[in-house]
């Protein structure tokens, strides 16, 4: 509608800018999580993820452990600080730039790089930006003397967090459990709902309107109501807290939306097709299997995506209907109850676990967005 006369170009620019602004705000938190999941623990706490591409200033301590050589009035230790045994690993690639140094943990960067520091008792230390140092001591030291320094360490990205999350902590188990809950809970309701939806859309019987209204009402019923009585019921009939129980629960909780969505869609199918099939002698069953089901594919796809996302992302139903042991925890429960509690401070692990748990829904979302949107519209717009 922008081609209509009277649009000002300044307004168009304002639109562009505000949309960019909106999109950036919406994306930034997720990007932060993604970037953090590839960073090391030290780097995460030393600089914000928005500074991830830049060097991080970290404090190191080491010992000047080259062989002391006697000189006039004492001993001299020279070498490169990056090659001393305590920090060798951190600077394995030979890069690094020192910004300051010192001789105590209280002031690890007390002296400017490149200057000679008088440490008292006749000790003098010089550390240059490239890591070369000269330490002069009056007597032969019993142990290599301590040196502290601050260095800009290059940005580091690692897959260590992913390795930890996927192998330790039972997160792999939780991933499998999530899949185990999700797939049957997505597939089983579809057929049940489709038959009911067909009956509500194309068969005439007394009380049809009332039933549709009831479905609409059930869409809203909070499932908190179901938790206590149904857990009790499951325990009475011997299912207890188990995968079987959660499949049944998810099947039922997804049912109102499934019936509602599919009925809306099926009711919109062209009457001619259905009537001509009936005239040709098709029974309701044949009509449903041969014509309605294939034609309703978009709605079936839409519901499957909804149900998949909902069951994958669910925390409440999993907490109540699955046993609380580690063997049957799904990812959301694992993250909310275990990681946030015991690993509360390990941001790298948290970010990675979160990303692992949202990766699959995101793929499904971007691959099937078309159907999702269509389903939303069928379910909401009047």
Partner 1 sequence: MSPVLQGLVTIVIGVASCVAYFFFSNMILDKVLFPPRGENAGRNINRANQWRPWLFMFPAMFVLGLYLVYPVVGSFWRSLFNRSGDEFVGLGNYAILFNSPEFQTAVFNNILWLIFVPAASTFLGLLAAQLTDDLKWGNIAKSLIFMPMAISFVGASLIWKFVYANDFDIGLINAIRGLFGAEEPIDLMQVPFWNNFFLMVILIWIQTGFAMVILSAALRGIPEETVEAAIIDGANPFQVFFKIKVPQVMSTIMVVWTTITVLVLKIFDIVYTMTGGNFGTEILPSYMMTFMFRDDGRATAVAIVIMVLTLPVLWWNIHNARKEMR
Residues of this chain, 31-90, that bind partner 1 according to CB under 8 A: 32-33, 36, 44-50
Closer residue to partner 1 in complex, CB, 85/342: 342
For residue 33, the surrounding DSSP H or E stretch is helix 9-37
Which residues within the stretch 152-191 sit at the binding site for partner 1 (CB under 8 A)? 176-177, 179-181, 183-184, 187-188, 191
Closer residue to partner 1 in complex, CB, 136/372: 372
Closer residue to partner 1 in complex, CB, 273/316: 316
Q: Does 315 bind partner 1 (CB under 8 A)?
A: yes
Helix, strand, or coil here: 309? helix
Q: Does 104 bind partner 1 (CB under 8 A)?
A: no
Sheet holding 69-71, edge to edge: 69-71, 74-80, 132-137, 123-127, 116-120
| Token digits of residue 145 | 């003397």
Q: Which one of 13-21, 60-68, 77-85, 154-162 is the stretch in contact with partner 1 (CB under 8 A)?
A: 13-21
Cβ burial, residue 257 (10 Å; 0-12/13-18/19+):
buried
Answer for which of 28, 105, 159, 168 binds partner 1 (CB under 8 A) is 28
Q: Does 247 bind partner 1 (CB under 8 A)?
A: yes
Which residues within the stretch 362-381 sit at the binding site for partner 1 (CB under 8 A)? 362, 364-366, 369, 372-373, 376-377, 380-381
Nearest by Cα to 194 from 283, 270, 254: 254
| Gyration radius from the chain CA atoms | 33
Answer for which of 152, 211, 269, 282 binds partner 1 (CB under 8 A) is 211
Which residues within the stretch 344-363 sit at the binding site for partner 1 (CB under 8 A)? 347, 350-351, 353-354, 357-358, 361-362
Closer residue to partner 1 in complex, CB, 90/211: 211
Instruction: Report in angstroms the alpha-carbon separations of 55 from 28, 39, 48, 262, 292.
Output: 21, 12, 11, 55, 61
| Overall residue count recorded for the chain in this entry | 382
Answer for which of 1, 71, 92, 279 binds partner 1 (CB under 8 A) is 1
The tally of CA atoms less than 13 A away on the side-chain side of residue 15 is 7
3-state secondary structure string across 168-208: CCCHHHHHHHHHHHHHHHHHHHHHHHHHHHHHHHHCCCCCH
Q: Which one of 62-70, 73-81, 136-144, 248-256 is the stretch in contact with partner 1 (CB under 8 A)?
A: 248-256
How far is residue 218's CA from residue 258's CA, in Å, rounded to a whole number?
12
Q: How many residues bind partner 1 (CB under 8 A)?
A: 120
Which residues within the stretch 214-243 sit at the binding site for partner 1 (CB under 8 A)? 215-230, 232-233, 243
Closer residue to partner 1 in complex, CB, 62/178: 178
């Amino acid at each position: 509608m922008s081609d209509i006369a009277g649009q000002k170009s300044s307004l168009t620019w304002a639109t562009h800018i505000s949309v960019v602004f909106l999109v950036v705000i919406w994306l930034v938190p997720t990007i932060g999580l993604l970037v953090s999941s590839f960073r090391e623990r030290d780097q995460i706490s030393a600089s914000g993820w928005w500074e991830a591409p830049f060097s991080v200033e970290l404090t190191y301590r080491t010992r000047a452990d080259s062989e002391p050589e006697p000189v006039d009035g004492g001993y001299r230790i020279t070498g490169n600080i990056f090659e001393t045994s305590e920090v060798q690993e951190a600077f394995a690639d030979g890069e690094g730039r020192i910004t300051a140094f010192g001789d105590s943990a209280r002031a690890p960067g007390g002296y400017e790089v490149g200057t000679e520091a008088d440490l008292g008792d006749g000790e003098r230390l010089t550390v240059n930006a490239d890591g070369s140092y000269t330490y002069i001591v009056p007597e032969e030291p019993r142990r290599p003397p301590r040196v502290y320094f601050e260095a800009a360490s290059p940005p580091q990205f690692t897959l260590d967090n992913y390795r930890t999350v996927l192998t330790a902590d039972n997160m792999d188990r939780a991933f499998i459990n999530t899949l185990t809950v999700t797939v049957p809970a997505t597939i089983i309701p579809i057929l049940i709902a489709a038959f009911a939806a067909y009956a509500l859309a194309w068969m005439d019987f007394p009380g049809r309107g009332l039933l549709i209204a009831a479905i609409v009402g059930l869409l809203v019923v909070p499932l908190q109501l179901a938790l206590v009585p149904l857990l009790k019921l499951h325990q009475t009939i011997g299912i207890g807290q188990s995968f079987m129980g959660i499949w049944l629960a998810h099947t039922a909780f997804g049912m109102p939306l499934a019936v509602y969505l599919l009925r809306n869609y099926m009711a919109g199918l062209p009457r001619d097709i259905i009537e001509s099939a009936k005239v040709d002698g098709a029974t309701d069953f044949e009509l449903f299997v041969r014509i309605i089901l294939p034609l309703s594919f978009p709605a079936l796809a839409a519901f499957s995506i909804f149900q998949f996302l909902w069951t994958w992302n669910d925390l409440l139903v999993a907490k109540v209907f699955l046993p609380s042991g580690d063997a049957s925890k799904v990812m959301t429960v694992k993250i909310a109850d275990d990681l946030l509690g015991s690993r509360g401070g390990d941001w790298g692990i948290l970010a990675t676990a979160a990303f692992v748990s949202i990766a699959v829904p995101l793929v499904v979302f971007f691959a099937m967005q078309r159907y999702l949107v269509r389903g939303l519209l069928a379910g909401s717009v009047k």
